[in-house]
Chain A
């Protein structure tokens, strides 16, 4: 049942990747760390794009968008270390969100999917940090990250909701969704 990816799908995926990369870079300029001095605190705006992709793309294409976004953001405004953080966190978040999506509309709304994804991202980040520092005590940042991550997850779900609804009605995405 494997079919070639259409041009429209490729262009929409490219568009989403670009949007996600810009969101990643833009939010890394926000001095959130001044408010909460914990490494790795962020809004997770790029997750809006992952959630969007969750509804219209298959797993392979979602992974491609996430991977390319992390690579682009790291190349343009990051470092190998920031890449390690974002790729681990984002991939873990994606897997958890794909699982939660199975219960979409029955057990979870976008809020649950987003909060679950944020928590997974935080766990991934801390795991990478503990490997870099070679010390597990960095896990003591996890409680704060989980709390701020939950708040950020609710925010990004609220932002993603209208987009998914609006674009879901458009012809373009109807045609690529199959």
Chain B
């Protein structure tokens, strides 16, 4: 089974698309402290500004069935009652554009730059 020219073009196009789509993450602007936005069912339920030297914060959702830990410049899921644990395995995130998602719980942490205005700050 020999590849044809179209195969290379197609695979190249997919790779190029992949590269273009990851532009925001690869070339994220450093400087301002990133903000972690936590959403559930599409609603923003909290934001944490991940300033350097931020004290360790624990955020509990769904009455403690999901636990999120924020630190200096980074945030992660530490506990979740979902089955696949993809959210926990994602580990720390902290670069604008990065996300950690827990699909079974419809919970999402996304990192944004400083352009957004804060509605809620989780203490």
Contacts and interface: CB of A to CB of B under 8 A. Distances in A.
Interface of A: 33-34, 37-39, 81, 100, 103, 105-112, 115-116, 119, 129, 132-135, 137-144, 146-147, 149-150, 154, 157-158, 161, 165
B24 A140 contact: yes
A138 B14 contact: no
| B contact residues, range | 35 or more
B3 interface: yes
Contacts of B7: 108-109, 111-112, 115
21 contacts: A33-B86, A33-B89, A37-B91, A108-B4, A108-B10, A109-B2, A109-B3, A111-B1, A112-B3, A112-B11, A115-B10, A137-B110, A140-B24, A141-B101, A143-B17, A143-B18, A143-B19, A146-B14, A147-B18, A150-B11, A158-B1
> Chain B interface mostly helix, strand, loop or mixed?
mixed
Contact of B41 (A106, A134, A147): A134
Contact of B86 (A38, A100, A107, A161): A38
A161 B14 contact: no
Contacts of A150: 11, 14-15
Given A135-B110, A144-B22, 4 more contacts: A119-B14, A133-B42, A137-B99, A141-B101
A159 B108 CA distance: 36
Nearest to A85: B103
Given A39-B103, A129-B103, A33 B3 contact: no
Contacts of B101: 39, 129, 133, 138, 141
Contacts, number: 112
Interface in B80-99: 84-86, 89-91, 97-99
Contacts of A119: 14, 17
A112 B4 CA distance: 8
A115 B22 CA distance: 19
A33, A146, A161, A165: residue with the most chain B Cβ atoms closer than 10 Å? A146
Contacts of B21: 139-140, 142-143, 146
Between A100, A116, A154, A158, the greatest number of chain B beta carbons within 10 A of the residue's beta carbon is seen for: A116
A81 B104 CA distance: 8
Contacts of B14: 115-116, 119, 146, 149-150
B10 A116 contact: yes
B89 A81 contact: no
A109 B4 CA distance: 6
Contacts of A143: 17-19, 21-22, 25
